[in-house]
A and B are shown apart, each in its own frame.
Chain A
Amino acid sequence: MDRADALQLLPDTYAAALRLRDAGLEPAEIGQQLGIAPEAVASALVLAEAKLQRLLAESP
């Protein structure tokens, strides 16, 4: 499984948060796009990245 495959397994919001960050958006813009509080964007990115790494590590 590569990163793109793992991204598809994440909840939509987490996958979108990582894509938007990779596209260079600021946390406030990411929050606005995803409908979550700007203050929650940083934790969403941390959790999304952690879940992604777990999926990649667990794939055979």
Chain B
Amino acid sequence: MDSVTLVGRAEELRFVERALRGTRAGVVVMGAGGVGKTRLARELTESPASARPGTSVWVSGTRSAGGVPFGAFAHLLPALDAPPRDRLAMGMLARRAVLQAASDAGLLVVDDAHLLDDASAVLVQQLAMTHALRLVVTVRSGERAPDAIVALWKDGWLECVDLQPLDRVALGELVAELVNGRVDPLAVARIWEQTRGNALFCHELLRASVAAGRLALDGDVWRWRGGLPATGRIWDLIDARLSELDPEDRAALEVVAVADRADTLLLDGLVDRSARSRLARRGLVEERAENGRSVLALSHPLFGEVLRSQMLDARRIQVCGRLADAADAHGMATGPELLRAAGWRLECGDGGDPELLLAAARRALAGFDPQLAERFARAALATGGGFQAELELATALGAQGEVQAAGELFTRLERDTGLDAQRSAVAAQWSEMMFLNGGRAADAADLVSRVASELVPGRLQDELAVLEGVWRWLSGGTTRVSETEWRRIAGRGERMDLLVAFAVAPMRVQSGQIGEALALLDGAAQAGANRREALPTVELTLRSTRAYALWSAGRLNDDVTYCERELAAATAAGELEPTAMFAFCLGGALTDAGRIDAAIGSLRDGLAVFERLAMPMYVSWSLAFLARALALSGDRGGARKALERAQHARPAQVQLIDPELGIARVWVLVAEGDMEGARTSALGLADRHAEAGWPIEAARALHAVARLGRPEGIADRLSELATTTDAPILPLCATHARGLADDDASSLRAAGEGFAALGCWLLAAEAFTAAAVTLRAGGRAASARAAGARAAALLARCEGARTPTLTGVEAGASLTRRERDVALLAAHGTPNREIAQRLMVSVRTVESHLAQTYRKLGVSDRRELADLLATGATRAPDQAAPA
């Protein structure tokens, strides 16, 4: 597992190359151990792309040679029976030897110069001062270097660059390069968290993780399974470094490791200040600002893994006890240190305060860490936490997909409690689990309806009414809460406003009122952030509804930017459910944008987590998007399989995902060459969605009909739908359809520009392609070339997306629509008899259309036709059906 290419260091390489051509004698590259100093120098001197491949001279400082004068240069010195005894003569001899050895390239690399003996260091300094040759000198930060080496940068003889760890993007690239495949973003986040961009740690951690099966292939994606491996060279490397510590400093470091980025105030009485300074000087700890407070942290997270794994249980328990007491003494146990303080209490075997444990369970649930929440809830239950502990436990179990155990607990809680507040809380949490982890939206609505009817009228009843409205809407039923009722409920405080936004915003999106939905979401954003702990699912839904609104409006540039930002934050925080949610939302946006490869990756990432958390609606929804993306990529088999899985996974009680399932089916049929079936299916969808009052979904289906070669009459229907919504994509779809129907290049170009401005690259490419064909047919060659060039530029962003318009760019231009339908089916290997049945014409007509098509396109068989249309058909010649 070695990286062939240097990743993430293009800027550093350019800087060093420039420095070597500059007025100074070279460059000092300093940086922490493992950051990649030597790798950079090797790239500079040994890469075939380098200006001086393989001709530089290397010397390396080592601890063992550090006490021997000129020890680092020994391999360059001539073998003499009687070496000069005085240092000056020896120095001159060494200098001559170096200059001779480096005569070709004139470049000397001094690696780990901080370990050089003094004589070697002085020689390096003299070589720099006299500009005798060019130097690249690497030095480890935080290590004491000989004065002559320090003078290289202090006195300005060499340029100086402090090499930093890789950034997140580069680390992701390095990981993918090392495992030679795509890596799940959650796994990359995990590796980032542990290595903080240190290339050596990354190499070693990956090596150990793959060997231990912790990082494993799932299909064609590497995913993380379980914890970190506790063996391997990385452990040995760190262990060797820590073994240099004296017992006092080691004990202090253990406290910092267990405290894990705790407030410096909290550690004041536990870690002696002089020990702290010594550890900082050694580069083992650092004080940094985090969220407005000062924390003491290990300078590298992997140090903590090693220290904690080597601590005896008794010692760890003792440290946890002292930390928990310190948190209490400083009043930090309920603030930002709540989770850690509660964890220390648990770890040291002190049951502690059930209120503290319950608060920690809620905080963990709000951080989408149900496993940790379960741990706290169980501890709270054991220390007398009662009803609330059982409720948090049931919620935590449900959020982990343990639906049966959670359901039994909810059932018992509902049966045993008589208080309205408790019954309402059970109904809310239970119904949420029924929907999210069971896809039982109708049952969830019935549950809250029943419980609400038994409560005293007031706030609790209103809250359940809101939930009932949401679950009914999701199940496809009509919400019983009227507009007047929503408004009445919304005016009753921040919490109710939040719940109403949670319920109403997605409904507004579905009915095409994007501006209103976004205004509701804007209004609720701050309240959502304030109440994340109390209503984590509501807050997450509000955030994902923004993505839904932007996607529905066709504002894909905005949607992709938003989803990428949310996804990055969620993966960095290690929050599973939000990570899956925004990977899914991003995948949807990328699919529509036409960035198909990225879309498929993102959708698969989200799907893997949704399956793990047993969230059937999102599993089915992700698969439906995946089917469409695969169909657009030309993977017919994969698309069909994903669609079948999506249909199988669809919960019977959730209808929200039906539009995507329907449109996925359309594009799978297209990929299979069944254009007539696809158009019929899309028309059916459009009628159903229009009747249901879902203008955007209806328009999506109608627009598909136009894109699939039947634009007549579609534009008027789209224009009419556009009057019922403020989604900017609808008028563009209407213009596009009109341009296709009327062969009107200016409409097509206008639609293309509009699509491009929104980030709908695929639709924009289609519109410009059609414009080019129309212009060419009209004899306007120059305009056609310009439109074609624009289409090509847009297509370049589309990562291989295939639609009938695009695959028939050149070939399809001269075919009639019927000829094109026949050609596409034939190119997919469909026998003539089947084509005839599908298109409801005679076999003789099919043969006639095919003969005409072959003549127009200058091809002689189906294989050539398939190649020309680039449909991905791969039949062997002897399997090809006769024309």
Contact = CB atoms under 8 A, between A and B. Distances in A.
Interface of A: 1, 5, 8-11, 13-14, 35-37, 39-40, 43-44, 46-47, 50-51, 54-55, 60
B491 interface: no
B30 A13 contact: no
Q: How large is the interface on B (under 10, 10 to 19, 20 to 34, 35 or more residues)?
A: 20 to 34
15 contacts: A5-B565, A11-B164, A14-B167, A36-B141, A37-B160, A37-B162, A39-B156, A40-B30, A40-B153, A40-B162, A46-B15, A50-B11, A50-B15, A51-B167, A54-B10
B297 to A, nearest CB: 12
Given A35-B286, A37-B160, A47-B11, 11 more contacts: A5-B565, A14-B167, A36-B162, A39-B153, A39-B156, A40-B30, A43-B15, A44-B161, A44-B164, A60-B560, A60-B797
Contacts of B154: 37, 39
B168 A9 contact: yes
Given A36-B162, A37-B160, A10 B167 contact: yes
Contacts of A1: 561, 564
Contacts of A14: 164, 167
A1 B14 CA distance: 25
B197 interface: yes
A53 to B, nearest CB: 9
Contacts of B793: none
Is chain A's interface secondary structure helix, strand, loop, or mixed overall? helix
B311 interface: no
A9 B161 contact: no
Interface in B1-24: 10-12, 14-15
A11 B11 contact: no
Q: Which of B11, B164, B568 has the most CB atoms of chain A within a 10 A radius of its CB?
A: B164
Interface string B406-421: 0000000000000000
Contacts of A43: 15, 159-162
B162 A9 contact: no
Nearest to B569: A8
A40 B167 CA distance: 19
B826 interface: no
A55 B161 CA distance: 21
Interface string B787-805: 0000000000100000000
Contacts of B141: 36
Contact of B30 (A37, A47, A50): A37
**Complex A-B, nearest 10 residue pairs according to Cβ-Cβ distance, in ascending order:** A40-B162, A50-B11, A11-B164, A43-B161, A39-B160, A36-B162, A40-B160, A39-B153, A13-B164, A47-B11
B166 interface: yes
A14 to B, nearest CB: 6
B169 interface: yes
Nearest to B564: A1
A52 to B, nearest CB: 10
B167 A47 contact: no
Interface string B47-73: 000000000000000000000000000
A33 to B, nearest CB: 11
B169 A47 contact: no
Given A1-B561, A39-B154, A51 B161 contact: no
Contacts of A54: 10-11
A9 B197 contact: no
Given A5-B565, A47-B12, A11 B165 contact: yes
A8 B531 CA distance: 26
Contacts of B565: 5
Contacts of B561: 1
Nearest to A55: B169
A50 to B, nearest CB: 4
A5 B563 CA distance: 13
Contacts of A50: 11, 14-15
B197 to A, nearest CB: 6
Contacts of B797: 60
A9 B169 contact: yes
Contacts of B156: 39
Given A9-B167, A10-B167, A11-B164, A37 B15 contact: no
A43 B165 CA distance: 15
Q: Which of B159, B162, B565, B595 has the most CB atoms of chain A within a 10 A radius of its CB?
A: B162
Contacts of B10: 54
A35 B565 CA distance: 30
Q: Which of B12, B169, B564 has the most CB atoms of chain A within a 10 A radius of its CB?
A: B169
A40 to B, nearest CB: 4
Interface in B641-691: none
A47 B168 CA distance: 16
Nearest to A14: B164
A55 B286 CA distance: 28
A47 B161 contact: yes
Contacts of A9: 167-169
A14 B169 CA distance: 14
A31 B797 CA distance: 42
Contacts of B164: 11, 13-14, 44, 47
A5 B165 CA distance: 19
Contacts of B564: 1
Interface string B360-391: 00000000000000000000000000000000
A11 B12 CA distance: 13
A14 B170 CA distance: 14
Contacts of A44: 161-162, 164
Contact of A11 (B14, B197, B560): B197
Interface string B556-584: 00001100110010000000000000000
B166 A11 contact: yes
A1 B563 CA distance: 11
Nearest to B156: A39
Contacts of B595: 60
B691 to A, nearest CB: 37
A60 to B, nearest CB: 7
A9 B169 CA distance: 7
A47 B15 contact: yes
Nearest to B153: A39
A43 B141 CA distance: 16
A2 to B, nearest CB: 9
A5 B562 CA distance: 11
Interface string B118-155: 00000000000000000000000100000000000110
Q: Which of B154, B156, B161, B564 has the most CB atoms of chain A within a 10 A radius of its CB?
A: B161
Interface string B771-813: 0000000000000000000000000010000000000000000
Nearest to A60: B560
Interface in B155-184: 156, 159-162, 164-169
Nearest to B10: A54
Contacts of A37: 30, 153-154, 160, 162
B648 to A, nearest CB: 34
Nearest to A35: B286
Contacts of B165: 11
A31 B371 CA distance: 43
